Structure 1
Amino acid sequence: MHQQHHQHHQQEEQQEEQPLTGGNVSAGVVRVGDTVRRPAGPWTPAVHALLDHLHAAGFRAAPRPLGIDERGREVLSFLPGEAVWPDRFGWLGPGARLVRVGRMIRDLHDALAGFAPPADARWQTLVPDDSGGAGEIIAHHDLAPWNLVADGPDGAWAFIDWDVAGPGSRLWDLAYAAHGFVPLSANATYQLPDAEAAARLRLFADAYGLDEPQRRRLVPLLTRRTRGMHDFLRDQAAAGTEPWLTHWRTGHGDAWRTDADYTEHREARWLAALLA
């Protein structure tokens, strides 16, 4: 058994590394056979414990952790498919697919609710939870089309890029997801007519199963979570921190700011749709 494992390891070493894209930060992410290798960090042990928990809880729309390789990179199971953003974003247009995303996130959060983090867990926090419910769950914090891998529009779907998982709340995670998946965007390419955006937000909230108090609390978080990304990029750019400085210089900060303004100006419309 040991000899077979050693031979498999040698064969794996000889396999070509194929760079992968998807996620906000994909530098150094490669595919090796049926695994993905990613740069590890102080948060990696806690993230792997979380992913192990999800698998044990029956949530399959996430990679499985397979340890650390000889170069110190984390090893994850490879999930077939392509990142939905940007070229396949149209797959999420039909209401039934938006409903599917909302139900996936509800299933994810329900599974995460039973996770007890390791006592020595360290997490990578980018935008602190401003919902008033921080610590309710260990949240993904980057649920977005660029982190949804789909094996075709109706095949297997999964959420990737768990590096910024950490303490948070369901609504803080959901507010970020609504921005990307509905979408709630001022970008001319993706902006929906107001009535359609509001209807899709309602569909998304219904799919997740929000009650009325949660719907009321969600609306201001839609703006605050989006503006939090602008503020994070602004501060990181001022400090000269990469890759965020490059993100800022290439217009990501402006995009988050205009999306936050767009969302804030329509809060009454969002609330009316959610409570109708």
Structure 2
Amino acid sequence: MKRLTLLTAALALSGLANFAQAKTLETVASFTVIADMVHNVGGDHVHVTSLIGPNGDPHVYEPTPNDAQALKKADVVFVSGLHLEGWLDRLITASGYKGEPVVLSNGIMTRSMEEDGKKITDPHAWNSAVNGIVYVRNIIKALQKADPENAADYKANGDKYIAQLQDMDAYARAQINAIPVAQRKVLTSHDAFGYFGDAYGVTFLSPLGFSTETEASAADVGKLITQIKHEHVSAYFFENSGDPRLVQQIAKASGAHPGGELYVESLSPADGPAPTYVKMFRYNVDKMTAAMKGQ
């Protein structure tokens, strides 16, 4: 009986040890698109907190005390980078987080534009599926470094997810290539689809620059209306995280018709049409191609 008791105790201690080893990695993502990517790669090994929730705007976000608490407890912090999360440095200082955030846009070919006489880098890199794959590879490396014991799982999950993004990229190319080049023109609220346009051959026009913090002058709006009429841009979209009023005014003046809502910088709530990165991307492709076809 004594021997059986000792064996039972040893098994119980072994179980506790295994439980201790299976600690969930606490991760923080700056916004929902990144949070979904981390969840897909990390699986059950990670707990993901998104600082910005569904339909949030990362350009003008104001961090909360809860964000500082989440950051302080984090094992790994993921950001997109390219100056998108301008509020993050202040939050890191306030939280006491000692690590270096993982910048997921490292390794992509960036694009830029002239804005108010300055060269500005476009931060919306995830709107190309090929760039999304770069983000995922960076997530795999970061999780493997933080949690080497589960490195094989992160690799397997990441490879499976990358295959989904490759299928998504092929789907976008097939759908858009079926549309004549002259019809591939869309009006959006701000210049957030540049990487998408470069990758898939779509021309985007917008009254605002890379950030929703910028303001369009009356002269710029007038030029845009003239351009839309001249280039026969037939459809306009507003964005789930932005104010639709300006683009609606331009559309009314130019004769463009509503194409619906696009998800560009954040996912929808779970019961919406774009609750994951893959669903968001496909939803945007389907909405834009329908509008460009005049449906």
TM-score by shorter chain over 0.5:
no
